Amino acid sequence: MTSTLTTDHETRSSGGVPEAAVRATESGIQIAPREQLDAWKHAVNTTFFPLEVNASESSRFAWGLRTGYIGPLQVTRADADPELVIRTPKQAASDDNDHYLVALQIRGSCRFRQDGRDVEIQPGEFTIYDCTRTFDVEWHAQHSTIVAMFDRSLFELRPDEVARVTSTPVSGSEGTATLVRSMLGQLSRTPDAYGGLAANRVASTFLDLLATVYSCRLDPDLPASEAAQRTLLTRVKAYIEDHLFDPDLSVESIAAAHFVSVRYLHRVFENDDMTVARWIRHHRMEQCRRDLIDPLLVGRTVGEIAARNGLLNASHFSQMFRKEFGESPKEYRNRTLAHAAIPTASAHRP
């Protein structure tokens, strides 16, 4: 909380979340002491939704706030002096905010209450809030928290299921929760590192992992490792499909994009009876095969078809294609298009 007051908030559109990652940083360091708490209240209510903020040391209140957007996720790092934050019944009833918050405690512990549960959240633990209902959070010392906010409709769990896990601490050092904790930390540090499609994929991965964590809490018989691997495998395959055009697509880049090690990524694919590299190669060949006979791409050469699917060496592509389908790309294209051009007998029947 030593940065100067630098506010570069971008007003959110009526749609709620800007398309590009936007970073906003604020602090109370250059605000007159008597105005710091009011400035903090304004920053909190602007960043999130209507809340009551109270502090015993109102004459001098130190704080800092940094916010970024990754697709539909808003990720905020908040640092502040001791305080009590309340979502009142009136605010919950009148405000149209329909979001969940996931808060990871970085420094200092807090007392969190919602849905009849009263728990202590320690550093390294996280919990989920439902903003459509009342809650209160109390910190007795200086604290740092990373908060991810997202629309409730994006979450896999039903509202009644989420109501069973609000105000329950989750250790960020166990099972799938370690991935959630790691992603929150990384996203809070570099939210503008992900743009466009990548941002949406990263956000989806985070929400899937979060849903896995809480699904395992709701159903203890579901092995956490199995659920996490199944979720990750689905996300990785979708990611590969969306990045076939990228010649730099590799096991290493895929692992980095999903915040896992290369070794773990290989283990996830073991149960699918196909290596990561083989899966990439097979789907590139399939996409090239479809492109070769696409009427809209008949003017493209075989080399251009290969290049648009991340394969820059046309000769090597031809060799791989022949190995996959038993004929060269040119032979396949000529044969298939020629067959399609021959009218069938039924077409000449009266």
Average pLDDT, the chain: 83
Per-residue pLDDT, averaged over 99-108, amounts to 96
CA distances, 183 to each of 177, 225, 340 (Å): 10, 17, 50
208-251 tens-digit pLDDT = 899 889 988 887 655 556 667 777 888 888 889 889 999 999 99
Least confident of 30-44, 111-125, 159-173, 221-235: 221-235
Question: 328: which 2 tokens?
Answer: 């060269």
Domain 33-221, classified CATH 2.60.120.10, yes or no: yes
Domain ranges of the chain: 33-221, 227-340
Question: 287: which 2 tokens?
Answer: 């996409």
**Tell me, what's the pLDDT at 52?**
95
CATH architecture of 227-340: Orthogonal Bundle (1.10)
**Tell me, what's the pLDDT at 16?**
38
Per-residue pLDDT, averaged over 76-103, amounts to 92
Question: 338: which 2 tokens?
Answer: 């020629």
Least confident of 3-7, 135-139, 334-338: 3-7
| Range 226-263 burial, b when 16+ CB lie within 10 A, else e | ebbbbbbbebbeebbeebbeeeebeeeebbebbbbeee
Q: Angle at CA 174, nearest 5°, toward 157 and 179?
A: 65
169 or 56: which carries more pLDDT confidence? 169
Q: Model confidence at 190, in pLDDT bands (50, 70, 90)?
A: confident
Contacts for 1 with CB less than 8 Å, ≥ 6 apart = 27, 28, 29, 62, 63, 64, 79
**Tell me, what's the pLDDT at 25?**
59
272 or 284: which carries more pLDDT confidence? 284
Q: Could you give the percent of the chain with pLDDT greater than 90?
A: 51
Phi-psi region of 251 (alpha: psi -120 to 50; beta: other; left: phi over 0): alpha
Q: Model confidence at 259, in pLDDT bands (50, 70, 90)?
A: confident
Residue 23 has pLDDT above 60, yes or no: no
**Tell me, what's the pLDDT at 192?**
81
Residue 28 has pLDDT above 90, yes or no: no
Confidence (pTM): 0.61
d(CA 285, CA 324): 7
Of the ranges 13-17, 19-23, 119-123, 188-192, which is most confident? 119-123
Instruction: Look up residue 338 and give its amino acid.
Output: A
**Tell me, what's the pLDDT at 100?**
96
**Tell me, what's the pLDDT at 233?**
83
Contacts for 246 with CB less than 8 Å, ≥ 6 apart = 253, 310
Residue with tokens 């904790």: 181
Q: Model confidence at 79, in pLDDT bands (50, 70, 90)?
A: very high
Residue with tokens 């400035």: 39
